[in-house]
Chain A
C-alpha cells in the first residue's frame, strides 16, 4: 500500500514564526501536492510538484513556499506564519503523467497559529 506520512499531526506556532511541514511518500510517485482544508471550502491547492526541484503554484500560494530536493519528500514552508494560516494541511502524491490517477493522501497536519 502507498503510504504518505506527514511530520506532525498537530502543531501550534506563534505569529511570525517560520513553519516547516514535511511530507514523505514511499511509492516513488512523480507528483506531490499540498492542500489546505477549511470547513465549507473543501480542499484548495497551495503548490504541487511533478518532478524533483520542480514546483507549480496552485490556487492559494501566497504566504507559502515549497521545496522538493528528493523525489519522496515535499516540504511546505510558511515563511512568517499568520493567524489566517490556521488550518488543516494535507499532503498527497500520485503516480505518472497522465492526470487520470488518483491521489494518495497523508493523515494531515492541523496547524494552529496563535
Chain B
C-alpha cells in the first residue's frame, strides 16, 4: 500500500535561513513524487515533481527537492526562506503502477519569521 509521512507538523525558520520540509514515502513500485503548497484560504498549488532522471528537482518560487531512493525520501528545500513562504506544504506520491490514485501527506506548516 502507498503511504506518505511528513514527520513534522510545523517547521519554524528565520527569514534568510535555509529551510527543509521532510517527506518519506512507501510504494510497491517506482514513485511519482509531488510537492504542493497551500496559502491561507486558497487551494493547493503545484510546486514541483519527480518523475525520473536527475534526483534534484527544481520548482517554483526557488524551491527544490531531492529524491533519495535508498532512504525513500523527497525532502523540500530552499536556500533562503522568505516570510511569504509561510504556508502549508503537502507531499504526495503516486505509484507508477497504481493508476490515478495519489496519496497526500498530512501537511507541514512552515512559519518564516522576519
Contact = CB atoms under 8 A, between A and B. Distances in A.
A104 B49 CA distance: 13
Interface residues of B, number: 26
A105 interface: yes
Contact of B101 (A58, A90, A108): A58
A108 B4 CA distance: 22
B49 A102 contact: yes
Query: Which range holds the interface residue count of chain A?
Result: 20 to 34
A104 B96 contact: no
B32 A90 contact: no
A90 B44 CA distance: 9
A50 B100 contact: yes
B90 A42 contact: yes
Interface of B: 4, 9, 32, 34, 36, 41-46, 49, 51, 90, 92, 94, 96, 98-102, 104-107
Given A42-B105, A99-B96, A100-B94, 17 more contacts: A40-B106, A42-B4, A44-B104, A48-B101, A90-B44, A99-B32, A99-B98, A99-B100, A100-B51, A102-B46, A102-B49, A103-B46, A103-B102, A104-B46, A105-B44, A107-B42, A108-B43
